[in-house]
């Protein structure tokens, strides 16, 4: 429960607004100045929690950052950054990235339905990110007539120090029938 406070500010803001509304109703009915002090205290508490949320980077946020950096690197055609985000043992993932950048120019990549499952019980801690990716691309050899493709992905991560590195991935391609 507590880790949710540091992953999504919506919970803090919603609870703070509800408390402020309730205290405002109490103040309107009682005109007691102590209620105004409580309202101020709630406002300060929400501010402190939002500041803490902004400063604390959770493992899920680190994994999201790794995925965002990978998307940016693919769009720029930056194989070195992609290799920096993958574990040295992720030979198949690195080979797939090398092949993709040799054959395609990625114009835009968007990730949807991102779900991250953490497993802190393994040594080192691991995680799995599942998502759908929509690619806008150009085939360098002009063999593929379409310019968009959607695929599902499961990406495995392992924590190395304070970084999460990709250790493997699975792609799910769905091609339209005839």
Mean pLDDT of the chain: 89
Q: Are 164 and 127 in contact (CB under 8 A)?
A: yes
Distance (Å, whole) CA 178 – CA 164: 41
- Paired tokens of 132: 């759908």
Query: What pLDDT, on the 0 to 100 scale, is given for residue 175?
Result: 57
Among 22, 19, 27, residue whose Cα is nearest residue 49? 19
Task: Reply yes or no on whether the pLDDT at 132 is more than 90.
Answer: yes
Tens digit of pLDDT for each residue in 46-57?
Answer: 998 888 877 877
Helical spans, DSSP H, in 31-142? 33-55, 59-76, 79-85, 91-103
Query: What pLDDT, on the 0 to 100 scale, is given for residue 4?
Result: 60
Angle 87-91-93 (CA atoms, 0-180°, nearest 5)? Answer: 80
Distance (Å, whole) CA 24 – CA 140: 63
Task: Reply yes or no on whether the pLDDT at 77 is more than 80.
Answer: yes
SS3 content of the chain, % helix, strand, coil (to 5): 50, 30, 20
Task: Reply yes or no on whether the pLDDT at 92 is more than 60.
Answer: yes
């Amino acid at each position: 429960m507590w880790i949710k406070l540091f992953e999504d500010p919506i919970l803090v803001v919603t609870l703070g607004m509800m408390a402020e509304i309730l205290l405002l109703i109490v103040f309107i009915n009682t005109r007691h100045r102590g209620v105004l002090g409580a309202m101020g205290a709630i406002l300060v508490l929400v501010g402190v929690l939002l500041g803490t949320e902004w400063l604390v980077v959770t493992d899920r946020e680190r994994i999201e950052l790794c995925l965002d950096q990978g998307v940016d690197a693919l769009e720029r055609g930056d194989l070195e950054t992609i290799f920096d985000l993958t574990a040295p043992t992720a030979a198949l993932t690195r080979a797939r990235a090398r092949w993709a950048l040799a054959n395609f120019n990625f114009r835009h990549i968007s990730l949807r339905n991102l779900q991250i499952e953490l497993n802190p019980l393994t040594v080192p801690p691991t995680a799995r990110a599942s998502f759908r990716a929509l690619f806008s691309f150009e085939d360098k050899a002009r063999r593929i007539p379409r310019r968009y493709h959607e695929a599902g992905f499961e990406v495995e991560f392992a924590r190395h120090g304070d970084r999460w590195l990709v250790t493997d991935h699975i792609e799910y391609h769905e091609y339209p029938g005839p």
